[in-house]
Amino acid sequence: MTEEIEPQEYGVTPALFLEWRTPRFGDQNPTKIQSQVWEWLVHSKLSGYQSTQKLNGPSAFDAGATWSFDRFGQSVTELPDGRIIYIAGEHEDYYDPDFYIYNDVVVVNPDDSVEFYCYSKDEFPPTDFHSATLLGNKIIIIGNLGYYEERNQSNTQIYLLNLDNFKIEKVNSSGNSPGWIHGHRAVLSADRKFITVTKGKIDLGQEFSLRENIDDWQLDLQDWHWQRLTERNWARWEIKRRDRKHNHLWDLRQALWSLEVKWEEHYQQDLKNLEKELGYRPDVNLIKDIYSFGFPCEQLPQDEDEYNVFRIKIDGVTVRFVEERYSVQATVEGELPDEKIVELQNRTLSKISLLENTICDLEVY
């Protein structure tokens, strides 16, 4: 797939683009759709903005989101016969006019032809960051982030996609489920009777940040019954600004990086922006010691794929800090004395409050 694929190769004209630029729901289960515009976009993988610019389409601010196959949180399943099944996913972030969470299934055949299956929201809600597990002629779709107003914190979303007719069926499960989970890992057992779900994040409701799933959950595929396999009573907490505005830790780290690579112009601009946001000119070097404490601890190497995750080791126990936009979440992956945990909490709270130049709050899970 490449952005150099021109719309004319698929017979796409500005008028045809205008007709098919908008995402749409199906009215059957499924509704099979043929669209030269969408097929071009599958192969070119252009963003909504890029395709609009190329064909002089209307602004998404005026006409709504533009259909795109450049998606996050989309599952990809390759079948033994060579077909590739793409399920749903989202395009852009919530603040972008082209933001959209899809509820479609796209099939790319071995000859590069494309099939589109659309569904009503009742049959299959907009879904992203789910897992897709192939089992015979079905794909088991577990989890969803979805639009905030459509989440159900008391349930774990499960759907079955039938690969014979592309009908989607909702599954009602029982037992102790992980709740409204997304971004997780789903592994089919060797006997193909269970799926084990690990990692990911869980939505607990409006009053809470998305919370990391630290336990293992098993779904019985015979009766759709959930079982909780672990109950890790790890110490966990998070720190937020009291005014509930976003923090600036990422911006501070970016400024530090500009300083260290001697990008003076970028560094000065970063400092100027931070001073405007924070109300003072910060010493960006202070963030290097944000997870250093008054007792021996080992700073562990950072994983390149986890840009916002920082780990230290204390008495053989790993403590993990995850810097999100609105919070810093901490997890002690084992047992430490209460007094050390309290010191970790208090020192981190103090340092973040100092860097943010405002009062921050500590919430213990």
| CATH architecture of the domain with range 7-228 | 5 Propeller (2.115)
pLDDT in tens, 172-190: 999 999 999 999 999 999 9
137 pLDDT tier (thresholds 50, 70, 90): very high
Mean pLDDT value across the chain: 96
Each residue's pLDDT tens digit, 250-260 = 999 999 999 99
- List, in order, residues 6 or more apart from 111 with CB less than 8 Å away: none
CA distance linking residue 218 with residue 224, whole number of Å = 10
The pLDDT tens digits for 140-168 are 999 999 999 999 999 999 999 999 999 99
Query: Taking Cα atoms as reference points, which of 290, 358, 353 lies closest to residue 319?
Result: 290
**How high is the pLDDT of residue 1?**
43
Tell me the per-residue pLDDT of 318-356, one tens digit each, with 9 for 90 and over: 999 999 999 999 999 999 999 999 999 999 999 999 999
| Reported confidence tier of residue 208, pLDDT bands at 50, 70, 90 | confident
60: β partners: none
- Domain segments of the chain as ranges: 7-228, 236-364
Residue 294: its pLDDT value, please?
83
Stretch (H or E) spanning 54: helix 48-54
Q: Are 300 and 313 in contact (CB under 8 A)?
A: yes
